[in-house]
Structure 1
Amino acid sequence: MNVLLKCVVRYVVSFELDFKGWRERNTVNTVPYTSSIPQLPRDTHPLGNFNSKKITVVGMGQVGLGCIASILNQDICGTLAMIDIAPAAKKLEGEAKDFQQGGGFHQTATILASSSYDVSEKSDLVIITAGVPQKPGESRLSLVERNAKIMGAIMPEVLRYSPKATIMIVSNPCDIMTALACKLAGPDFPQGKIFGTGTILDSSRLQCLIAQSMDLDPRNVHGYIIGEHGDSSVPVWSSVRIGALPLLAPGQPVDDTLKAIHKAVIDSAYDVINLKGYTNWAIGMSVAYLAKAVLNDNRTISPVSTCVRGLYGIEEDVFLAVPCSIGSQGVQRVAILPLTPEEEATLQKSAKGLWEVQKPIWEQLDSQN
């Protein structure tokens, strides 16, 4: 029996070593938000399953409420704190009571609500959705100046009450807001522990459109949209799989049908905003999916927004969505996705466009420090 056990142990250890080598070849360490900060190795945390954790959602607009509903319906945490600005206190109280009264239909969760950040104390995960909403016909990038001021007011309060929390940014423009949140948190905050929802919803929209055209379950379509969560996003057609089968043969060009699918993905949010005034349910479900990955330390690979300086020929301190391993500490590792020359060039163009918008606010923060 002891001999058999020793053999099994050696077998498991050998696989662990092999896969560690694969990880080192195919993924990279998280990148600090600016080049003036040294890149430090991340602590290795063992996988775990945490059943009772605390989540705070900042911003109780339609997106924030969509996140709350999805998190409660999936029984993700034991305590859920809702924060909104003081003028909305009466409505916030009503929303909290409404959720509390549904407690008989989901796992018992303590629901807190306040315009003060003290209810967020010792959160394991803070989700920031607060910001000026996107208007019909308005691009996400046009929101940057207004929402940057809001982020500047939120981050000190979040860090004051939950200095060890993982932070997920949903506010638009998501990539720039994530970059600013990291810079506001400062160099002592662990790299990768703040990340944005990135293109996880864009990728879901892509999967659904392809699946509908093939009469398949969307979960059988595997592929990513990367880059900006917005108009310059990049569909990685070269890596799309239907089950285990590649969508395109090696070297096969992207045809007009696939280009039309990508355009439909870009237009999806605008379509919903034009029809109902806002988006909330799909983004709420994607946030809950990522929240579960964080609180259960799942190491789920999803395209979220993180610093990509030094990757794919990008030199600026920009945050873009790329496939990342998500766990209790946020982004654990950044996967190196093979791109065609055309895909890489498009991603670089997306990064430059994003940097032009981000640069003035980035430099303004530098001058204040």
Structure 2
Amino acid sequence: MIDAGTTLPTPEESRGGHGSRAGARTTKLAIVGAGAVGSTLAYAALMRGAARTVAMLDVNRAKVEAEVLDLQHGIQFMPMAKVEGSDDVAVCAGADVVVVTAGAKQKQGQTRLDLAEGTIGLMRTILPGLVEVAPDAVYVMVTNPVDIVTYAALKFSGLPPERLFGSGTVLDSSRLRFLVAQHCGVAVQNVHAYIAGEHGDSEIPLWSSATIGGVPLLEWPGIAGHPSLSEDAREEIAREVVQSAYRIIEGKGATNYAVGLAGTRIIEAVLGDEHRILPVSTLLDGDHGIEDVCLSLPTLVDRRGASERVLVPLSDAELAGLQSSAASLREVARRFGL
């Protein structure tokens, strides 16, 4: 007899796999980097029950062990999970998803592209070992400059593009939706809008395809006490999306809460095989006339990884902005010999 509320394994889980016990397959998330972003992402993933095992890897053994111990002490108040951590890459063995947050820390006044050289070198060092212990994982890069780092990581790892991608503009799109919702006086969940291109200064909002409650954003009439989105208001919102990370870093040294939640959303889409459309950074191969560069477009994310891009219609100005963003990223990649 099965008690009410018992969760039965899916057919895929019943077939077993790494981490299985008595034929039931469990999910494992590995997080590389136990800094502000990595530890917050681990916390968010645990609170949302995203994976049954969360493993953290960091070169600073004392730091990663302390973060793990702190998280373990809160397991009573979360969906049941196992938390482990080490400075040995073996802790990531058999992971279903590997999220890489390790990288140079962005300092006040630095752009994301300023961080490229040190972080690219780090990817060259750590990725071969990760792929060796977790050869079947989906890899998500959450370290800046994410588009350049994702492009480099694809070259260093040898993984197919659908199985290694960047967090891209998932966070930027969340910032955009929040600001639109705030201006228009609606719930953020009713706003559907994307930021595309670079996760950085050349990113572009896709106003032409944005909607509020099913109404095209450019036709939104406004509601009592909240005006419609004028061109000036849209330009101010777009500037705020770009500048908000710099403001947060100036005030508290790092962004961590929203990016931890955004990363967890991507993880859930993969582990839950959700077929969710998210603006992640993938290797383009001719989309909108752009190729051989990683940048963000709305993409179907499921158990396969970033499985298929969705070619949303673009205005002429948006297409020009996307191509300009791609050119900027390609120039930086070539600067680093990629």
* Match runs of 1:5-20 below 5 Å: none
Question: Do structure 1's residue 109 and structure 2's residue 51 form an aligned pair?
Answer: no
**1:141 maps to which residue?**
113
Amino acid at match of 1:280: N
Amino acid at match of 2:68: A
**2:180 maps to which residue?**
210
Question: Do structure 1's residue 285 and structure 2's residue 285 form an aligned pair?
Answer: no
Question: Do structure 1's residue 333 and structure 2's residue 308 form an aligned pair?
Answer: yes
Q: Pick one of 324, 343, 347 that aligns with 2:318.
A: 343
Amino acid at match of 1:133: K
Aligned-residue Cα RMSD (Å) equals: 2.0
1:193, 1:330 within 8 Å by CA — same for their partners in 2?
Answer: yes
Equivalent residue pairs, number: 312
**2:334 maps to which residue?**
359
**2:249 maps to which residue?**
273
For structure 1, the 5+ residue unaligned runs are: 1-45, 364-369
1:180, 1:362 within 8 Å by CA — same for their partners in 2?
Answer: no
**2:163 maps to which residue?**
193
**2:26 maps to which residue?**
52
For 1:101-130, what per-residue CA distance to the aligned partner results, in whole angstroms no more than 9, with x for missing partners?
Answer: 111011221111100000110000000000
**2:235 maps to which residue?**
259
For 1:256-288, what per-residue CA distance to the aligned partner results, in whole angstroms no more than 9, with x for missing partners?
Answer: 110010000001101100000000000000011
Corresponding residue SS for 1:308: strand
* Match runs of 1:213-232 below 5 Å: 213-232=183-202
Q: TM-score, normalised by structure 2?
A: 0.89
Cα distance change, pair 48–298 in 1 and its aligned pair in 2 (3 A): farther
Corresponding residue SS for 1:326: strand
Higher relative contact order by CA 8 Å / sep ≥ 6: 1 or 2? Answer: 1
Corresponding residue SS for 2:161: coil
**1:179 maps to which residue?**
151
Amino acid at match of 2:95: S
Q: Distance in 2 between matches of 1:334 and 1:266?
A: 24
Q: Pick one of 149, 158, 163 that aligns with 2:130.
A: 158
**1:239 maps to which residue?**
209
2:154, 2:160 within 8 Å by CA — same for their partners in 1?
Answer: no
Corresponding residue SS for 2:270: helix
Q: Pick one of 61, 84, 103 that aligns with 1:89.
A: 61
Q: Pick one of 319, 336, 348 that aligns with 2:294.
A: 319
% same residue = 40
1:168, 1:194 within 8 Å by CA — same for their partners in 2?
Answer: yes
Offset at residue 309 of structure 1 (A): 3.0
Amino acid at match of 2:281: S
For 1:69-105, what per-residue CA distance to the aligned partner results, in whole angstroms no more than 9, with x for missing partners?
Answer: 10000011111100001xx211221111110011101
Amino acid at match of 1:158: L
Cα distance change, pair 48–173 in 1 and its aligned pair in 2 (3 A): farther
Q: Distance in 2 between matches of 1:154 and 1:299?
A: 29
Q: TM-score, normalised by structure 1?
A: 0.81
Offset at residue 47 of structure 1 (A): 11
Amino acid at match of 2:34: M
Q: Pick one of 54, 77, 90 that aligns with 1:80.
A: 54
Question: Do structure 1's residue 170 and structure 2's residue 104 form an aligned pair?
Answer: no
Deviation >2 Å, runs of 4+: 46-52, 360-363
Cα distance change, pair 208–271 in 1 and its aligned pair in 2 (3 A): same
Amino acid at match of 1:351: A
Q: Distance in 2 between matches of 1:226 and 1:362?
A: 25
